[in-house]
Structure 1
Amino acid sequence: ATAATAAPPALPAAGGGGPVRVLSVDDIGVNQKIVSLVLQRLGCRVDTAANGVEAVERCLRERFDLVLMDLQMPLMDGLEACRRIRAHEATSGTVPGVPILAVTAHGDLTDQAECLAAGMQGFMNKPISPAGVAAVLARHTHWRPPAPEA
């Protein structure tokens, strides 16, 4: 397993004071590596899934502080995966649900509306930037920027 998918040591539950735990969902390996590297440099714990089916399975078993979800993937796209995660949260009483943000290279206003209708909290265009990811983390999780070095 790679560093991004290896089982890390136990951390506080999602929403606690420990590192932000992010599930990055993308079927393109290089995209996974870039997103994982950016998140790790921001101090996050990163788990990955290669498609919507894996994302749903992970979200049903584990707690995440944030899910970054590609829209176009094999087996199950990001919109359907989000709908299934939200349906599970509704039946299990998980409130509030995990923040899920779409990440796509071909975003337009129609895509944004579909993402919100599926239960996503927002939308990020590829290529991602560290500043953009930091803003998403600050808005949707307990993450705060590291203190400047003296």
Structure 2
Amino acid sequence: MRRYNFDFQEAMNGLQAVETYKRAGGQFDYVLMDLTMPVMDGMAATREIRRHEQREGLPPTVVIALTGLASAAARVDALSSGINFFLTKPVKFQALHQMLKGAAAGGAMGPLQPPSSLSPPPPSSPPSAPPPPAQPQKRASDQGIGD
């Protein structure tokens, strides 16, 4: 974030992220939320941010999950908690930078679509049948050669 001169505030855990967000009065263009944090995980923190926005009549801030969890279930859980975008680690910072730059220029990400590299992956096809087992190679001594 420093590399691209973005202003940001950092939280060490989910509870601190929620408190920082509340103190700022919802004045963030977006929140980068790690899903696995101490004290309060990213999904619980996002749900609390969404409750705060509703109570205070604030427009929803875009929340982008950054996580090593790549399963479809993790993605569904994250999106159902109020997270807008789901990025698996390692994050391609150039693509993230482009998304954030576009959001900053527009002031909000409502109509903005994530770059294709940040879009959810297409549903996976059912696994194909495993390849047939490899045939063992016969050594020359197994074939009676060289005796």
Instruction: Give TM class, smaller chain.
Output: 0.5 to 0.7
Which residue among 11, 33, 38 is the counterpart of 1:49?
Answer: 11
User: Aligned equivalents of 2:104 and 2:62: distance in 1?
Assistant: 8
Q: Indicate conservation of the 8 Å contact 1:105/1:126, yes or no.
A: yes
Which residue among 65, 69, 86 is the counterpart of 1:102?
Answer: 65
Q: Indicate conservation of the 8 Å contact 1:99/1:140, yes or no.
A: no
Q: Which has the higher strand share?
A: 1
TM-score (norm 1): 0.64
In structure 2, runs of 5+ residues without a counterpart are: 107-147
Structure 1 residue 130: Cα displacement: 2.1
Structure 1 residue 55: Cα displacement: 0.4
Q: How many corresponding residue pairs? A: 104
Q: For residue 92 of structure 1, what is the aligned residue in structure 2?
A: 56
CA change 1:135–1:108 in 2 (3 A) is farther
1:45 aligns to what SS in structure 2? coil
> Any residues of structure 2 matched to 1:109-148 within 5 Å, and which?
109-142=72-105
Identity of aligned residues (%): 34
Q: Indicate conservation of the 8 Å contact 1:101/1:123, yes or no.
A: yes
Higher RCO structure, 1 or 2 (CA under 8 Å, sep 6+): 1
In structure 1, runs of 5+ residues without a counterpart are: 1-38, 144-150
Q: RMSD value over aligned CA atoms?
A: 1.5
CA distances 1:65-116 after superposition (whole Å, capped 9, x unpaired): 1111111111100000000000000011002x11111100122211111111
Structure 1 residue 139: Cα displacement: 4.8
TM-score (norm 2): 0.65
2:10 aligns to what SS in structure 1? strand
Q: Indicate conservation of the 8 Å contact 1:52/1:78, yes or no.
A: yes
User: Aligned equivalents of 1:72 and 1:127: distance in 2?
Assistant: 14
Moved runs in structure 1, 4+ residues, more than 6 A?
A: none
